[in-house]
Structure 1
Amino acid sequence: MRWLTAVTSRLSRWAMYIACACLAGLLCIVVYGVVMRYVFNDAPPYVEQVALLLVISVAMFGAAAGVRDAGHIGLDSLVAMLSPKLRFWCDIAVQVLSVAFGVALLAGSVEMGLSTYASTIPTLGLSEAFRYLPVLLGGILFAVFSIEHLIARFAGTEVVRSWH
């Protein structure tokens, strides 16, 4: 379990670093686009596509780090009223559903990436499949982090958060 925690903790930190870098890049590209459009009356055509890729990346990597650190939305007040045994099984159900969601993201992004591989993003010249890369990586991270929570729950331990 220690090696898994070491790997997932590092993956979670890198996911958050990537999300933060993409958020900073998003801020820069949007400000650049606004200045170019309204000050110089010369809107670059690629700004919207780059911003869209960065938004997807921020969402997927940030959400994955949130899954690792149990920062996702929950009904804690309702679950706290349950018996310890029911709380255990509610947590197991949440983690199993999170694994299923990660696998669904992975499968859907692979399917969409394969179906759009031949097309290109209009102003970037990249394959449309590139749009689905953050979703694919996010799906893998969702599943891995949720599996770590399942293993820890059955072992009777807690997953130590990457961000204290």
Structure 2
Amino acid sequence: MIQDCLVEDGVRAQPRRLLTRLNIGLARVSTVIAVVGLLCIVGIVFYEVVGRYVFNRTPTWAESLALVLVLYVTMLGAAVAVRDAGHIGMDSILVLLPAHVQHWFEILIHLLVAGFGVAMACNGWILGMSVANFLIPNLGLPEILRYIPLALSGAMIVLFSVEHTLALLRHEEVEPTWN
């Protein structure tokens, strides 16, 4: 598979093509993880409700685990939304601008989103490392698990924004994650 990324029609692939394939792979894996996480949340909450109201015995770990999974689902989903342009954009402002300026404002928007992704990744890493030695109550898992999705999705947002910026500079469209 990696060799397919490096060679296209006997010629070395351009770096942008490698970035596109990497981003498609990351977006697909993130989507699958988010969907599985969402299904797990539904199952955990159902188990918690049944435990509380049917058996009168609430599982103490269920709420904590569901909250951790919510972080993974939302952060990975947000990153994928950036790649697939499913996030809330500034289109209402763009349409008010002259046509020759709209293109450059789109690039500016993606650069600002990339900057936000850098802030997410860096601060998620810093926060995660600051609590790495602590445990999540009721789960006994390291507290850093709450900050991994923040740092990871921030890094993916940067990659996805760079891809969009390069595509805009070439006057191309970003290849969709799911064809």
Determine which of 8, 22, 25 is the counterpart of 2:37: 22
The structure that is helix-richer by fraction is 1
- SS of equivalent to 1:82: coil
Aligned length: 164
Structure 2 CA distance, aligned partners of 1:138 and 1:75? Answer: 21
Once the two structures are superposed, the pairs formed by residues 87-106 of structure 1 within 5 Å of their partners are 87-106=102-121
Partner of 1:5: 20
**Contact kept in structure 2, 1:69 and 1:163, CA below 8 Å:** no
Shift of residue 129, structure 1, vs aligned partner: 0.9
Write the letter of the residue equivalent to 1:63.
A
Gaps of 5+ in 1: none
TM-score when scaled to structure 1? Answer: 0.95
Query: Residue by residue, what CA displacement relative to the aligned partner does 1:43-96 show, whole Å, maximum 9, x if unpaired?
Result: 111111111111101101111111001111123243123222211121111111
Q: Is the 8 A contact 1:110 1:136 kept in 2?
A: yes
Letter in 1 for 2:91: D
Q: Which structure would you say has the larger RCO, counting Cα contacts within 8 Å and 6 or more residues apart? A: 1
Q: Determine whether 1:122 maps to 2:133.
A: no
Q: Secondary structure in 2 aligned to 1:121?
A: coil
Q: Is the CA contact 1:22–1:58 (under 8 Å) kept in the aligned structure 2? A: yes
Percent of matched pairs sharing the same residue = 41
2:35 is equivalent to residue 50 of structure 1: no
In the alignment, which residue of structure 1 is the partner of 2:10? none
- Report the alpha carbon displacement of residue 7 of structure 1 after superposing the two structures with TM: 1.3
Give the SS at the match of 2:89.
coil
Segments ≥4 residues shifted beyond 6 Å: none
**Residue 112 of structure 1 pairs with residue 127 of structure 2:** yes
Q: Tell me the residue number matched to 1:41.
A: 56
Give the Cα–Cα distance (whole angstroms) in 2 for the partners of residues 85 and 103 of structure 1: 29
Residue by residue over 1:76-134, the C-alpha shift from the partner in whole angstroms, topping out at 9 and shown as x without a partner, is 24312322221112111111111111111111111111111111001111111111011
Runs of 5+ in structure 2 lacking a partner?
1-15
